[in-house]
Amino acid sequence: MKQTVFITGSSRGIGKACALFFAQQGWNVVINCKNSIEAMKEVQKEILAMGVSCLALQGDVGDYETVTGFYNQIQKHFGLLDVLINNAGISKIGLFQDMKPTEWNEMIQTNLSSVYNCSSMAIPLMLSNGHGKIINISSVWGVAGASCEVAYSTTKGGINAFTKALGKELAPSNIQVNAIACGCIDTEMNQFLDLEEREALIEEIPACRMGKAKEVAELAYSIATGHNYLTSQVIQLDGGWI
């Protein structure tokens, strides 16, 4: 029986790389986006062309009722869920004092509440299955904090604490919870940097380059398919940067 993975925010970047990588290994894949519908449809086409099942769900995973509907569809199509990858997220750079309450709330809802929503509904399916993996895509800024990215750092720090606590809670049930704290990954989220800024950033990274989205996907797949004694861990994938 094929295994099923649900990846939030998977129309581009790390989420897309994860979706394609799992599909290449023959998994059923559930993808999601909030606004990039056409991009998500293209990802779905790529996956279906591999001969595996792909369910595309459009909507805000930061909204509890929306996620409830998503899980009803996942159960209808695939029955159970083996792996959840909480990847959906947004970022905003600017002085904290200039941040509006609406911007703060949107960041919390998109980056952190979504992890609660999707994880809380995945757990019953994983308990029924007798196993499961929850993999949270975090950031090194959740470990170290970043100036002018206070809200983003806060949400990622929350994800890291969530990971450590929930992993302990679910360990007796054979459900592992881990996070990948990404460094600078070469995705659309970093496209605002000009060439000079990119070069200056790369000089700070001991590995002398940005990471690739596929490298995150490969690590996520490795965690998803083994390492059952690994839980409550925040694994930094940053080329030695932080």
| pLDDT confidence of residue 194 | 79
Distance CA 31, CA 213 (A): 16
Q: What would the two tokens of residue 14 be?
A: 């790390």
CATH code of the domain occupying 4-237: 3.40.50.720
Question: What φ, ψ does residue 9 adopt, rounded to 5°?
Answer: 60, 55
| pLDDT confidence of residue 215 | 98
| pLDDT confidence of residue 18 | 98
Give which of 182, 179, 165, 167 is closest to 135, Cα–Cα: 179
Distance CA 27, CA 23 (A): 5
* pLDDT tens digits in sequence order for the chain, 242 residues long: 799 999 999 999 999 999 999 999 999 999 999 999 999 999 999 999 999 999 999 999 999 999 999 999 999 999 999 999 999 999 999 999 999 999 999 999 999 999 999 999 999 999 999 999 999 999 999 999 999 999 999 999 999 999 999 999 999 999 999 999 999 999 876 777 778 888 999 999 999 999 999 999 999 999 999 999 999 999 999 999 99
| pLDDT confidence of residue 188 | 76
In the DSSP assignment, the letter for residue 172 is G
Beta bridge partner(s), residue 235? 180
71 is known as an active-site residue: no
Q: What would the two tokens of residue 98 be?
A: 């200039």
Sign of the four-CA dihedral 21, 66, 150, 230: negative
Among candidate residues 116, 152, 221, 229, the one labeled active-site is: 152
Give which of 211, 215, 129, 212 is closest to 174, Cα–Cα: 129
Decide: helix, strand or coil at residue 58. strand
Beta bridge partner(s), residue 176? 133
| pLDDT confidence of residue 1 | 76
Q: With a threshold of 0.85, does the pTM exceed it?
A: yes
